[in-house]
Amino acid sequence: MLAKDQILFSDNHLLAVSKPGGLLTQPSGTTEDSVEAQAREWVKREFNKPGAVFLEAVHRIDREVSGVVLFARTSKALSRLNEQIRDRKTRKIYHALIEQALPKKAGTLTHWLIHGDHRALVGCETDPDAKQAVLHYRVLGTAWKMWLIEIQLETGRYHQIRAQLAAEGCPIAGDAKYGAKRRFAENTIALHHRQLEIVHPVKHTVIVITAPYPAAWPS
């Protein structure tokens, strides 16, 4: 059940919610809960919709990750937002706690990633299945003897942030799959989709949606 403070933005076209770490973004075909299922129930109650509710995730974040998830409430909104993502007209900001310091206070990481079996593998440009992954980062400070960094994605590859930071020897806290030694909150890693900037698909105004840190993060 979505709590009131999880609703970050809502109108007739869009719904943005704050997903807790450890919860799936979309239904998996099992009885396991997801933030999409919870959001659909919220829309039914909030807008008193007796029948089926149109609600589609515009993007996904990993189960272990917290933060902004945006849903389209109409097919027109979904189509236009998908086009924005394809044209790289959205802006996605993540925050992460990493175990080791990056070599510079700010910079760009570029790798070639291969979608492996439930993980991303770092390959090279000549690998036939590899796709270029680019992110920009800056160090915000330190917390709990770790480094808090801000990440802006230029591309959107599978497990991109997790794999790229691990490839630099700086895994995200709690991310044992990618070599982290420090534990984080149960079933989560220290990666948070902090902010999403989009152009409203109908009103054509810029919307900036920000998700507060989960309770497990340092204040």
59: left (phi over 0), alpha (psi -120 to 50) or beta: beta
Domain assignment of residue 75, given as a range? 4-210
* 216 is a domain residue: no
Q: Mind listing the pLDDT tens digit for each residue in 4-43? A: 999 999 999 999 999 999 999 999 888 899 999 999 999 9
* 217 is a domain residue: no
Checking if the pLDDT of 111 tops 90, the result is yes
User: Which CATH number belongs to the domain containing residue 174 in this structure?
Assistant: 3.30.2350.10
* 218 is a domain residue: no
* 112 is a domain residue: yes
Note whether 190 and 64 are within 8 A (CB): no
Q: Please give the Cα distance from 66 to 39 (Å, whole number).
A: 15
pTM: 0.95
Task: Please count the structural domains in the chain.
Answer: 1
